[in-house]
Amino acid sequence: MKTNAWQQDQEYLTLVGDLLDQPAVQKLANYTQHHHSDRLQHSISVSFDSYKLAKSMHLDYKSVARAGLLHDLFYYDWRTTKFDLGSHAFIHPRVSLRNAEKITPLNDMEKDIILKHMFGATLALPKYRESLLVSLVDDYEAEHEFFGPLRQKVDGWFRKIKVRASI
């Protein structure tokens, strides 16, 4: 995760604190996501960044924060677990929604955000702008997490080149 700015944002913590306290959410830390992060870190990143954007866009940032945190509430390794009913992109939003409904009441928008967060990989059209926002932030965070170590390595190469060029 880039920073822990989310831990300093009292309004955000008020919105999602009850969820973060849930063992079902904390359990996400036990699962690798996008190779270089765990699922809890990823979910917090998606939730917090979506919350900040939604707030600046005058959207329902409360639903975005809560559903963003719960969008990947599943407990299997998606790289090895396969389903007869469809791909991981199709199945895991439904599993996540079912798991989320076990720990908290959800409004219609929160349900749509969780179900449609794989828009693009699936044909499930988001019903709300907030659903599209979380889907796009999820894609951004996945890329950021996956390519982060490579990006750091390339940045190091450029720093070495700059130092050599200035000698």
SS3 33: strand
Total of domains in the chain: 1
**How would you class 150 by CB atoms within 10 Å of its CB: exposed for 0-12, middle for 13-18, buried for 19 or more?**
exposed
Is residue 38 within 8 Å of 47, Cβ to Cβ? no
**What pTM value is reported for the model?**
0.81
pLDDT over threshold 90, residue 52:
yes
Pair of tokens at residue 49: 């960044």
> Most confidently modeled of 77-91, 105-119, 121-135?
105-119
Greater confidence, 64 or 150? Answer: 64
**Domain range enclosing 94:** 5-166
Is residue 34 within 8 Å of 42, Cβ to Cβ? yes
Is residue 78 within 8 Å of 92, Cβ to Cβ? yes
Q: Please give the pLDDT value at position 97.
A: 95
CATH of the domain at 19: 1.10.3210.10
